[in-house]
Structure 1
Amino acid sequence: MTAYDAIVLAGGAARRLGGADKPGLRIGGRALLDRVLAACGDAGTTVVVGGRRPTVRPVTWAREAPQGGGPLAALGAGVRHTAAERLLVLSADLPFLGADTVGSLLAAVGRDGLEGAVCTDQDGCDQPLVAVYRAEPLRRELALLAAEHGGLAGLPLRLLTHELRLSRVAADSLASFDCDTWEDIASARARIREHGLVLDEWITAVKNELAIEIDVDTAVLLDLARDAAHGVARPAAPLTTFLVGYAAAKASSDGGGPEAVAEAARKAAALALRWADETETP
């Protein structure tokens, strides 16, 4: 069973950021909120609790009452718009959260008797806003807390998590990294420019900007660009990859997909190698 709904908390005053619009801050050209939404793209319903803003995919908007009432109040507002048996709960400031971590949390909740699964950071501390909760016990505890305290505003998250039977999931070291300060923002921006991440980050950002949903084999395209640059001329590399993309788009309109890119790249690479062979033949 993979069905779940997602609740993303995108409110808060961001005091350590001087009141900046934290969910809208960009990491690698993408808003923090959009990066989080990408990690839960297969959710049945996605509820964002916070002020309305443009997003890369449709969401349901909600606001806590009173505004600025804290994460429990926001969670209570979001839950009212969901219907799935499992609820993924995330903060909107997780630049490196991936679908793999979401999958691990969902799988952990499937064990008998558990009421949720929470991600733990490198120090072993619970991250209750990187978690999956079963809807019934979550609703129950929220109702009990609201009745006991006259509402959920201002209450700490630990009052909720201490009452639930939770599994702990030690995810990737970056999965629970959140951005609370300008130093965090600078660190995240530097991190995505590291050699092992920058190409995937750039390709994802371009696909989002162009509203396309095709898988790109970067190795194939880089090999093609190398062959065109070495076998023909350096400016041939970007022009050739553009033409390959254009050809793949035409093929896709006839029912092709990612394989259309690979086939177009294969043909162009073979041509570049033939071109090089001619120049090297005495």
Structure 2
Amino acid sequence: MLAGGRAARLGTPKPGVVVGGRPLLEHALAATRGARRTVVVGPEDLAAPGRYVLTREDPPFGGPVAGIAAGLAALPDDGAAPWVLVLACDVPGAARAVPALLDAARRRTHDEAGVLAVRDGREQWLVGLYERAALDAALAALPTAHGASVRRLLADLPVLGVPDDDGATDDVDTWEDAREHDRRLGADARPAPGHPDDTRRSG
């Protein structure tokens, strides 16, 4: 799970932004239930021993491909989990999208190395299930993961697209996006309680 971006348009770290009554990170973690192991790629203040493995790309802020590489490096390469869910932390509806990805993975052809959500004709690369071996090979083919685009990493993989018709993969890049998700969920978007940007905290 990728949770280490700068979130320049929000002005506050995305993982702690509260949407629908829960921080974005918690929405994303809910989507990983049932996974053998969950790795969060992000800063040290996200540490939660026993809940998931926390790691970070080096140097930080290397972009999502560097984050994917760091996440894979933190996963045992023992063949026990041949599929990897790649998920950005800013997708509050991810838990609705993942069951469709799992279903698609079961009916894919053997030539397809992954399944990903497609929203309004656009591939949602960071809401996808991919074969571990295919991700490793794609990363090895890049000159560097730092600063590389996700499209460059994944565009040549044969994948099965899964239509997202109800906006489960809509992300949160701005406060307007957050308020729209809250409108859907009937709650109030804000930074996590106690964060310096949380102007609604008591006192």
- TM class by shorter chain equals 0.7 to 0.9
Return the match for 2:93 from 83, 93, 96. 96
State whether structure 2 residue 62 is matched by structure 1 residue 65: no
Cα distance, 1:109 vs structure 2? 2.6
1:91-142, CA deviations, whole angstroms, 9 ceiling, x for partnerless residues?
00111222x5212212323322110111011x11000000000000110110
Decide which of 21, 28, 37 is 1:29's aligned counterpart.
21
Q: Which amino acid aligns with 2:26?
A: D
Structure 1 residue matching 2:29: 3-state secondary structure: helix
Offset at residue 192 of structure 1 (A): 0.5
Distance 1:47 1:170 in 2: 26
> Which amino acid counterpart does residue 107 of structure 1 have in structure 2?
D
Partner Cα distance (1:29, 1:180) in 2: 18
Provide the rounded CA distance (Å) in 2 between the counterparts of 1:27 and 1:185. Answer: 6
Work out the percentage of aligned pairs sharing the same amino acid.
39
| Counterpart in the other structure of 2:124 | 127
Counterpart contact for 1:109–1:134, Cα < 8 Å = no
Q: For 2:117, what is the secondary structure of its paired residue?
A: strand
CA contact 1:101–1:172 (8 Å) conserved in 2:
no
1:41 aligns with 2:39: no
Residue correspondence of structure 1 range 174-253 to structure 2 within 5 A: 174-193=167-186
Deviation at 1:78, TM superposition (A): 0.2
- The CA distance in 1 between the partners of 2:59 and 2:127, in whole Å, is 23
Q: Which amino acid aligns with 2:164?
A: A
Task: Select the residue among 153, 158, 164 that pairs with 1:160.
Answer: 153
**TM-score, normalised with respect to structure 1:** 0.61
Q: Give yes or no for contact 1:11–1:49 (8 Å, CA) kept in 2.
A: yes
Question: How many Å apart are 1:72 and its aligned residue?
Answer: 0.3
Which residues in structure 2 correspond to 1:50-89 (within 5 Å)? 50-52=42-44, 53=46, 58-83=51-76, 84-89=81-86
Would the aligned equivalents of 2:97 and 2:169 in 1 still touch at CA under 8 Å?
no
For residue 15 of structure 1, give the secondary structure of its aligned residue in structure 2.
Answer: coil
Match status 1:114 vs 2:112 = yes
Structure possessing the higher relative contact order (Cα contacts under 8 Å, 6 or more residues apart): 2
Letter in 2 for 1:48: V
User: Could you tell me how far 1:51 is from its partner in structure 2?
Assistant: 1.2
Structure 2 residues not aligned, in runs of 5+: 188-203
**Aligned equivalents of 1:57, 1:31: Cα separation in 2:** 19
Specify the structure having the higher radius of gyration (Cα). Answer: 1
Which structure: greater helix fraction?
Answer: 1
CA drift of 1:172 comes to 4.3
